[in-house]
Every structure is written in structure tokens, then in C-alpha cells.
Structure 1
Amino acid sequence: MKVEAWIFVICTVFLVLVTPAYWFVTDAGDSGADWTGTSALVMTTLLTMMVAMYLGFQAKRMDARPEDRKDAEIADGAGELGFFPPYSWWPLWCGAALAVMTFGVAVHAWWLFIIAGMLGAIALCGLVYEYYRGEHAH
């Protein structure tokens, strides 16, 4: 986790340096030319700092993983890596429902938005409860 925390610390430092430079180059201070980009960079800086702090705190609380230790062997990383879900059609239907909802808003067809929202709710329930029924039930 320490490596991941350092990656986000480096990104935060980069953004701390780039944000004032962007603000100065776009002349947002005098004429208000581009507050949008400056605001986006400030928020991105704060978000990367938040992730870096979280990963740093978690790295202190965790035991060192094999990839974090300099004296680790390849065999130290052997074993189960975690749970990986099998194939699923539910994300496709969730994405399709969201696409139709967005299309309904774009063309001011609220009836289409409502129908797609109901179908999206069904698809989301199917995605959430996928491992409670069927062949992949736990």
C-alpha cells in the first residue's frame, strides 16, 4: 500500500505545482477568463490528496504485503488472490437503461426516462442480488 500512497502523493505534488501555473497562464486572476479549469484542478488536487492520505493511513495499519518488502520471494505471494466474479449480463442492462434514460432527458421524452428508470431499477436489483440465486448463489 505504501507504493500506491506514494503514487498519489506524487500526483498531488504535481497538481499543486500545475494549478497555480494554469491559473497564471490563463489569466484567471484579472479577467476571470477560466475559473472552470482552475476549479477543476483544485478539486482534482484535493481528491488525490484525500486518496493519498487514506492509502497512507491504511499502509501504517496493515502488515507489509510481499510486494512491499524488499526481502520477499516470489513464493511469498502464492496462494489465493481473492474472489473474482464470473461473467454477468447485468452490467450490460444497467448501462443500457442509463443510456436510454440519458437519451430521454436529451430529447425531452420524460415518458422514456421513466420507463428506462423502472427497467434500470430492475437491472440494478438483478446486479446486486446476482449471488443470492441461480448457479452462482453463495
Structure 2
Amino acid sequence: MKIQGKMFIWLSIFILAIAVTYGVWAKEPAGTTALFLAFGLCIMVGYYLAFTARRVDAGAQDDKDADVADDAGELGFFSPHSWQPLALAIGGAFAFLAVAIGWWLIYFAAPLIMLGIWGWVFEYYRGENQNQ
């Protein structure tokens, strides 16, 4: 994790130099602001990774002699297939469409969104994925 922190900190320094150069040369506020915001994001991620690397044990990526298999292991829990994101996507599409067409469309979007959220939150409490 140490190398990732250093990479983001160096990237943030590069983006800062580019932001200053772009701001002086182009005198365009939108691009300059975007570059300064990108600098802020990179410095935050770099600081977090560097700070966390000091508090945790060295990982396989910090060892120059490590093999790829040294970093193998459980990656996390991944949910099985679920239809709830589809309901949320359709409800969200109707909600955004309501802004363009008319607010009456929210009456159709809100139940779909609520159904999708309810189903996604409680999908492990019923059906084949129910915990014993």
C-alpha cells in the first residue's frame, strides 16, 4: 500500500503543476478549476493510502520479491444475481424523465424506486438466499 500512496502523491504534484501552467497559459476558469479539483482528489487519496500504510502490516505488493500468488486470498463477498437493481434503474429513469416531461411521472417512479430499495435491502431475508 505504500507504493500506491506514493504514486498518488506524485500524481497530485504533477496535476498541480499542470493546473498552474494551464491556469496561467489558457486563462480558462472551468478547466483550471477541474484540474485543481483533480489535484485535491489525488492528494486526499494519496494521503489516505500513505496514512493507512503506516498503520497496517506490509502487504505482498510492498515486497519486491513477492510472487503474484502471495497476494491471493478471499477478495470479498459478492451477491448472487438480483433483479432489484433493474427495478431501481427503471424507477430512476422515470424519475429523471419526470423532470423533462412532467412531474406526474413521479407517481409511477416512486413506487418502483421504493420496491427496488425494499427488495435489495431485504433480499437475504427471503427466498433461496435466506440465511438459516
- Report the TM-score, using the length of structure 1 for normalisation: 0.79
Partner of 1:37: 31
Change (3 A) 1:26 1:77: closer
Counterpart amino acid of 1:112? L
Residue of 106, 119, 123 corresponding to 1:113: 106
Residue of 33, 56, 62 corresponding to 1:62: 56
Count of aligned residue pairs for this structure pair:
131
Distance 2:126 2:18 in 1: 50
Distance 2:37 2:73 in 1: 40
Matched, 1:134 2:127: yes
Q: Which runs of 5+ in 1 are unaligned?
A: 28-33
Partner of 1:25: 25
How far 1:123 moved relative to its partner? 0.7
Counterpart amino acid of 1:61? R
Distance 1:39 1:128 in 2: 38
How far 1:19 moved relative to its partner? 0.8
Partner of 1:125: 118
Change (3 A) 1:20 1:73: closer
Counterpart amino acid of 2:61? E
Partner of 1:5: 5
Aligned 8 A contact 2:87 2:115 in 1: no
Distance 1:11 1:95 in 2: 35
3-state DSSP of counterpart to 1:84: coil
3-state DSSP of counterpart to 1:112: helix
Counterpart amino acid of 1:59? A
Residues 77-127 of structure 1, C-alpha deviations (whole Å, 9 max, x = no match): 3443322222222222222221221111122x1111343133212212222
How far 1:41 moved relative to its partner? 1.8
Aligned 8 A contact 2:94 2:108 in 1: no
